[in-house]
Amino acid sequence: MTAVLALTLPEYPTLADNLQYQLTGFLVVLFTLGSLAFLVGLIGRVFAALDARRAPAHAATQPSSPSLPTAPAEGEIPSGVLAAIAGAVSATLGDSRFAIRGVQAADPRQNLAWSAEGRRSIYASRNLR
């Protein structure tokens, strides 16, 4: 295919010939990308329609969901974050029994130990001349 396109160009192409060749290639790429975007959008709509058909059947079998939780007050840790912390502790400790007695948000202005250790590690890794 490339050899056929290359044969269509004259031996000494003009600026207009070069621009036409480049514009044709650019339009082919744009058409291909547009076609792929259209297909992906079409497949997404098909899946959304299939989910919409299944939704009434699932809604009848599942109990109604509770109301959405309110936003946590200033300084409180959201319940989702607490659940993630509990899950991380459980995954780390495995089958051993544990109890989380409290969770407190760290103030980054008061605890600079991690950033200081990172800087120390970077400075230590550099060769001094």
For the stretch 40-57, pLDDT in tens is: 999 999 999 988 888 776
Contact 73, 101 (CB under 8 A): no
How many angstroms separate the CA atoms of 106 and 127, rounded? 34
Cβ pair 100, 89 in contact under 8 A: yes
Question: Can you give the pTM of this predicted structure?
Answer: 0.38
Q: What's the rounded Cα separation, in Å, for the pair 69 and 73?
A: 12
Give tens-digit pLDDT for 56-101. Answer: 765 556 555 555 556 666 667 888 888 898 888 888 888 778 888 8
